[in-house]
Amino acid sequence: MTTEAGVLAAGAAAVAAAELDSTLAAQLMVSRPIVLGPILGFAMGSPLVGAFVGLVVELLSHDKIPVGGLIPANAPISAGAGLLLALGPGAVALPVAVPAGLLLGRLHGPLVDAPLRRRRGRMAREVGETLARGEDVSLGLLAGRELLLQFLANLAMLLAVIVVVKPLGRLTWRVVEDTALGTGLWSAVLISPWAGLGMLAHSMRLAR
């Protein structure tokens, strides 16, 4: 049990760190769901599921960029949370794990991104005032502290959803068995890539 918990904790830490790549650091594209999904899936023993979830989230979020005042659903958190729920010990049924991941990505904005953005706005004003007085400011230290704070907030959110939802894993499989609800959930998750492709085609048409 300790080893299994360690695997999930390590996966959550990896996702929390990868999320920093989206706007705050490096920007090497490892935070994109289409990249993060297969990597995390491979690490957790199911690269195909990782690729599927990554593709779904990528298609649903490809045109949502968190710049300016826009705070869309957090794509790496959505993909990472969905995979952490769907894979590993206490696996949650995929038709439940994917929507749960998408919901967590949506909640990440008001619960994590928005408060931290307000904090950084205040900090930027304070730094500007300090520099205007001719005083030195350790910008590297401030940046490192904010990266650590974002990582810890991401990690706390991912661990919380694992602790709350993972124990329901067996129950979710009963829900998606041969019932009308289960059939609907499976159908929804299987057609989601096609829905995402439709959204991609529509956005490309508008961009022409």
pLDDT at 162 over 80: yes
How far is residue 144's CA from residue 91's CA, in Å, rounded to a whole number? 35
Domain boundaries, the chain: 2-200
Chain length of the chain: 208
Residues 6+ apart with CB under 8 A from 200: 59, 62
Residues 6+ apart with CB under 8 A from 78: 33, 57, 61, 101, 102, 104, 105, 106
User: Taking the model in full, what pTM does it have?
Assistant: 0.80
Percent above pLDDT 70 for the chain: 77
Q: pLDDT band at residue 90, thresholds of 50, 70 and 90?
A: confident
